[in-house]
């Protein structure tokens, strides 16, 4: 008599595989949530960095003092780049992510040589997650650096 071979999974093997997938998913979801929040803060910090660099380059190009004004709004933050001499708006940017907060309203001035009028430190933070803060530091020479953490 020939024996028949059955191929496939038993119910117990299938339940073990599903249980293992469930455990791995439960471990991965919190890490994914933190990563998404961290990427949101990082992308907005990079957008703000680009705007600061634009402000500095316009000051050098136009040989005039250019001002960047940052303000916290109910929906996120707002940034305006204006020429100081005639208050002409050169660029405006807003991010409507209420979870991302600016620590303080800030004004940064760059002179015709690209130097900052005063040192500035701009902190972006994710609401309720202090460990995800990013700060942009503007030195007197006009250099801009983005770092994790808050202003010291």
Q: Please check whether residue 118 is in contact with residue 107, taking contact to mean a CB–CB distance below 8 angstroms.
A: no
Domain boundaries, the chain: 12-147
pTM of the model: 0.79
* Class of CATH domain 12-147: alpha beta
Confidence of residue 2 (pLDDT cuts 50, 70, 90): low
pLDDT (tens digit per residue) in 40-63: 888 888 999 999 999 999 999 999
- Mean of the per-residue pLDDT values for the chain? 88
pLDDT (tens digit per residue) in 91-119: 999 888 778 878 788 899 999 999 999 99
Q: Which residues contact 123 (CB under 8 A, 6 or more apart)?
A: 102, 103, 104, 133, 134, 135, 150, 151
């Amino acid at each position: 008599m020939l024996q028949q071979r059955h191929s496939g999974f038993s119910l117990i093997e299938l339940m073990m595989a599903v249980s293992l997938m469930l455990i791995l998913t439960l471990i991965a979801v919190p890490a994914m949530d933190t990563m998404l929040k961290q990427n949101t803060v990082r992308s907005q910090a990079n957008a703000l960095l680009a705007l600061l660099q634009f402000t500095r380059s316009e000051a050098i190009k136009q040989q005039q003092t250019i001002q960047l004004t940052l303000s916290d709004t109910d929906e996120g933050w707002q940034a305006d780049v204006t020429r100081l001499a005639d208050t002409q708006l050169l660029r405006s940017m807003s991010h409507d992510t209420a979870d991302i907060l600016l620590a303080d309203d800030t004004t940064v001035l760059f002179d015709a040589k690209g130097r900052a009028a005063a040192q500035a430190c701009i902190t972006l933070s994710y609401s309720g997650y202090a460990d995800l803060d990013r700060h942009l530091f503007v030195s007197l020479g006009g250099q801009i650096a983005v770092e994790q953490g808050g202003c010291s």
